[in-house]
Amino acid sequence: MIRSERIPERYRIPLETGDGGDLLEFRYSHGDNEKRALVYRPAAAKNCGERKFPAVYLFHGGGDSEESFFGSPAKSPAERTPLVPMLDRMIAEGILAPCFVVTPTYYGSDPGNARVHAGDAAKLTGEFWRELNSSLIPAVDTAFPTVRDRDSRAAGGFSMGAEATWNVLAKGAETVRYYLPMSGDFWAVEVKGGATHPSETSDALIDGIKKQGLGPGDYEIFAATGTGDIAWDAMSAMVNELLGRRPWFSPSEDGGNLSWCVSEGWHAYEWCWDYIAAALPRFFPAGK
């Protein structure tokens, strides 16, 4: 177990305009849906010649939107979340490799679009890996200088976005090596099945991994939540079960593929900054 640490206050302070990355609006199609995502482009990716960068995909929580992780690009940096300043500073300080961070939505773009959550959103989070792999990743790789390789991609999410993340690993992991589920378990068996059916939930994840022909060296997970989080019971039961499922999962402390990071936090993006700051440099250390 890794004890989560709060981000330093300086990570919340925007860099001087022009020194950091940009927050861009990005449009792509998925079937009949015209979709919108936000994209953080690291400063190093402007006029970068042939250089290519890793990409991190982050999925929002139930009822939220593609703007939940970053805030609106229409607002001033001071009115947004700390995520852009934090990424800028971690990259500038040589902690994190310059990388793109993409925040899509698993909700459709139709006008009557209901932002359902919890059990109703699980139909969407269970399927989003298809859109990620067939539409979003190809669109990002076409529009931006990203490395076209699963070793240079991470997928993570908060709450129902964590549910979407576990589904990418279980069903569509050919595109992604690194996983960052935050405050959410895998609802393969039922809602909060990590608590009610930890063994069957773990079986579903491992069966999915096996079906894809992947081995334990092909994926790495940084799972995180807080002891005061509504996902604590379900996620801790599930992760503790997974930690004993050798060889498919084993603790990173033993050189394995699963890190379990615990804070004192609750169910809010405010605690995700800490988890993201801890996880991303493990996936994409500076100088790699």
Contacting residues toward ligand FER, per CB under 6 A: 61-62, 117-118, 159-160, 162-163, 184-185, 187, 192, 230-231, 234-235
- Rounded Cα–Cα distance for residues 255 and 102 (Å): 29
Q: Report, in Å, the least distance between residue 267 CB and ligand FER.
A: 7
- Rounded Cα–Cα distance for residues 50 and 108 (Å): 35
Q: Report, in Å, the least distance between residue 151 CB and ligand FER.
A: 27
Q: What angle do CA 47, 53, 56 make, to 5 degrees?
A: 130
Using the minimum distance from each CB to ligand FER, give the nearer residue, 187 or 219.
187
- Rounded Cα–Cα distance for residues 52 and 41 (Å): 12
Q: Cα 72 to the chain's mean position, in Å?
A: 19
Using the minimum distance from each CB to ligand FER, give the nearer residue, 235 or 239.
235
Using the minimum distance from each CB to ligand FER, give the nearer residue, 141 or 229.
229
Q: Report, in Å, the least distance between residue 23 CB and ligand FER.
A: 25
Amino acid of residue 125: T
Q: CB–CB of 108/65 below 8 Å?
A: no
Using the minimum distance from each CB to ligand FER, give the nearer residue, 42 or 184.
184
The residue number with the shortest CB distance to ligand FER is 62
Q: Report, in Å, the least distance between residue 28 CB and ligand FER.
A: 25
Q: CB–CB of 97/286 below 8 Å?
A: yes
